[in-house]
Every structure is written in C-alpha cells, then in structure tokens.
C-alpha cells in the first residue's frame, strides 16, 4: 500500500475477507521483504503483533481492531508520501482536494463531483508524493454510510441495511476513475461549520473504543484535552492546539488495545439546503488545519524518522507541495448543486499555481494575503 509492504499472517477468514473487500487492489500473493503483521484469533484471546509489539484485541471487535491496526501499521511505514485526510478528484489534469474530518461528507461530495465531470483519484485518504508533489491514485474501497451517498453510488437496495458499506471504486461508471497522478490544483476544506475555523481555537476530536469509556477518559486527562461528552463506545473531546502535547495523546490512544479509531471530528453535522457556499480561506490556515489531521504524522512512524525525528519539519514538507494552491472553505449544501458550484469555481481558477500564501477566492470575492 503506497510504499508500505506488510505480510499478513492470520488464522482469521473474516479478517482476510475484510482486507479483500477494502484493500483488495493492494493485495499481492507474494511480497518479498515485507514486514510481518500477525493476527491470531485462536487460541484466545485474539491478538495482533507487528515490529515486536503485541496488542490484545477485544473478542467482540477483534476483526475491526485488527484491520485498524493493520492500516495504521501501513501508514507508519509510508515515507514517500504525505497522506492527507481528504478525497481527491482530477479534472483537466489538476487535482481538487476535498479535506475534512470523518463524517463531514467527503465521500458523498466526491461522488457528486464525479457526476459533475471529475474523475476520482482517492476517497478519504489522499497521498501526495513528496518528490514530485503530485497526488497519486489511491483507490481503496469507498466507505459509504446512510444518506445521499447511497443514491449517488447507485447501490443495490439491500445495501441500505448496513450503516457503512465498502464499495469497490471499480463499481463506479466507466470513466469515473483517474489513472495517472495529478498536481494539486485547489483545496476545499469542509467540517460542517458555517465559517472557516480558527487554527488556534479548540477543536472537536472523537475516539471510538470497545473498552470502558470512563477509564479511557481518565487516561486522557492531559494538558489541552477536555472531555466534552461520553456515549457507549465513543468519547468526545476538545483539543486546545496551543496547549496539547500531540505525542502524549497519540501514546495513550496507540497503547490502548480497545481503541478502534480516532481523529478530528466535524464541528456540526448540518447540511444546508441548496448549493454550498464557498468562503475564502487563508493558505496558512489551510496548512495548519491539514497538518493536524495528516494520517502518517505519528512521531514513531517512518515519515517523521525520515525528517530526523522532528515533527515540525512536516509543516515545511506540506507547505512545499501544497503551499501554492488556492484554498476555500465550503459551507456544505445538497451534494449535486454543491458539486456544480465547486466545478464552476475550479474551472475558473488559473491553470498555474497561485502565489504562495494566498487563498483562492470564492466566486464573487477577492483573494487575501
């Protein structure tokens, strides 16, 4: 997967089926020099091991936990790419990046953009090759939840029974997929809010776990971390970027065998009627917001190691590859009209890059330093 090479050794048929369904395009029968990733379900308790570290898995969610650990292990080995939490679509040889937290509607909007004349490069995870600064196709399965995405993907009626369905990108209509890298042409950020977020303000963060939520909340009593709510299987936090120690937070979450996934959460989940509004977003703000959700930024991962162990150098890397892109903030509306507005905005942008540090203007507005 990208430049990660993992050999999965397991006695779990359900895990193999999950890998085939979601990552089947990356599976090879024989991969020399691959890092062993071992998952054993029997005898219990189920457990996963990689790089000499063993994680005990929750029997009730062992497959989900093992798959999450596998995906994270692959991201930790990725050094030649910066992996953004974004969808990417190609049009006229340039890539439009649609960034935002999970549940913010990136996949649904990406499907609407395909119908509006774009071609899909990636969904949810967008790799940018560091050397050339281009977005490379990354066509893992699309994770589609209830809502307009089901209709846009033309899923069979029986698929509505599941909360989340993994759909092979190859199932989209002919001509929907991009088959070559493309340079970033513009960035749109969406997070459910009504105005561009302030990168220095506290932001919502979500943790999904199969373990006791209260015990995890106690472990997360760290500077800059505030618990804003708990629910069965989920912990909602507010993180203060001016006080948080990201390494300490990652250390707690990575060491807890019950944690399934975590990351930046949307500010709200409200989709407005009509087409979405585009608001100017300063390039430096976009850079900071993208950096906090960079998927292979862990201090113990190979990417940071390749930068001499200095996480601060990630900002320079990201600025080098996307710092000249026009940026905008999207107040989401209905998928199809929002996609049409985005297409019109993207088409009127100059083919060359904008001056570094400038934000791309929404239709009818001006760029600002």
Give per-residue pLDDT as tens, 178-232: 999 999 999 999 988 889 999 999 999 999 998 899 999 999 999 999 999 999 8
Percent of the chain with pLDDT over 90: 59
Question: CA–CA separation, 330 vs 267, rounded Å?
Answer: 13
CA-wise closest residue to 283 among 307, 311, 315, 310: 315
**Residue at 231 is within a domain:** yes
Same-domain status, 142 and 121: yes
Other Cβ atoms less than 10 A from the Cβ of 112: the count is: 23
Same-domain status, 271 and 320: yes
Range of the domain at 313: 83-197+267-369
Other Cβ atoms less than 10 A from the Cβ of 226: the count is: 14
Residue 229: CATH number of its domain: 3.30.70
Q: Return the DSSP state at 182.
A: B
Query: What are φ and ψ of residue 357, in 5° steps?
Result: 90, -5
3-state secondary structure of 184: strand
Give per-residue pLDDT as tens, 299-349: 889 999 999 988 889 999 999 999 889 999 999 888 889 999 999 999 999
In angstroms, the Cα distances linking 67 to 193, 274, 280, 298, 319 are: 31, 38, 38, 18, 31
The pLDDT value given to residue 144 = 62
Would you say 102 and 194 are in contact if contact means Cβ atoms under 8 Å apart? no
| Among candidate residues 38, 61, 77, the one where a domain is terminated | 77
Question: CA–CA separation, 223 vs 248, rounded Å?
Answer: 10
Same-domain status, 259 and 349: no
**Residue at 1 is within a domain:** no
Give per-residue pLDDT as tens, 3-46: 999 999 999 999 999 999 889 989 998 888 899 999 999 998 99
Whether pLDDT at 357 is above 70: no
Same-domain status, 166 and 259: no
Question: CA–CA separation, 264 vs 102, rounded Å?
Answer: 7
**Residue at 337 is within a domain:** yes
The pLDDT value given to residue 147 = 55
Please state the domain count of the chain.
Answer: 3
Same-domain status, 88 and 157: yes
Same-domain status, 231 and 291: no
Would you say 82 and 127 are in contact if contact means Cβ atoms under 8 Å apart? yes
| Among candidate residues 77, 97, 131, the one where a domain is terminated | 77
Do β-strands 142-145 and 164-167 pair in parallel, antiparallel, or remain unpaired?
antiparallel
Tokens at residue 83, please?
């992996």
């Amino acid at each position: 997967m990208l430049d990660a090479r993992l050999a999965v050794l397991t006695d779990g048929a359900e895990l193999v089926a999950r890998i085939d369904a979601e990552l089947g395009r990356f599976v090879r029968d024989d991969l020399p020099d691959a890092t062993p990733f071992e998952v054993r379900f029997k005898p219990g308790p189920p457990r996963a091991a990689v790089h000499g570290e063993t994680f005990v898995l929750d029997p009730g969610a062992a497959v989900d936990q093992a798959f999450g650990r596998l995906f994270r292990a692959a991201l930790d080995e990725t050094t030649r790419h910066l992996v953004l939490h974004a969808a990417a679509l190609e049009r006229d040889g340039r890539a439009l990046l649609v960034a935002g937290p999970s549940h913010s509607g990136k996949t649904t909007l990406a499907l609407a953009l395909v119908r509006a004349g774009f071609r899909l490069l990636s969904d949810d995870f967008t790799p940018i090759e560091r050397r050339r600064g281009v977005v490379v196709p990354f066509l893992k399965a699309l994770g589609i939840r209830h809502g307009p995405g089901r209709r846009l993907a033309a899923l069979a009626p029986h698929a509505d029974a599941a909360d989340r369905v993994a759909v092979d990108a190859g199932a989209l209509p002919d001509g929907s997929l991009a088959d070559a890298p493309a340079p970033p042409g513009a960035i749109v950020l969406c997070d459910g809010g009504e105005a561009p977020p302030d990168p220095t303000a506290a932001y919502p963060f979500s943790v999904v776990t199969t373990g006791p939520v209260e015990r995890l909340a106690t472990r997360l009593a760290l500077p800059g971390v505030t618990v804003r709510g708990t629910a069965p299987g989920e912990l909602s936090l507010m993180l203060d970027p001016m006080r948080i120690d990201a390494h300490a937070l990652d250390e707690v979450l990575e060491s807890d065998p019950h944690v399934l996934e975590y990351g930046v959460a949307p500010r709200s989940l409200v989709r407005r009627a009509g087409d979405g509004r585009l608001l100017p977003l300063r390039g430096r703000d976009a850079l900071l917001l993208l950096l906090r959700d960079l998927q292979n930024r862990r201090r113990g991962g190979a990417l940071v190691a390749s930068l001499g162990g200095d996480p601060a150098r990630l900002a320079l890397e990201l600025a080098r590859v996307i710092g000249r892109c026009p940026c905008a903030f999207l107040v989401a509306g209905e998928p199809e009209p929002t996609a049409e507005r985005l297409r019109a905005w993207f088409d009127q942008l100059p083919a060359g890059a904008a001056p570094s540090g400038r934000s791309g203007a929404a239709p009818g507005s001006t760029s600002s330093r």
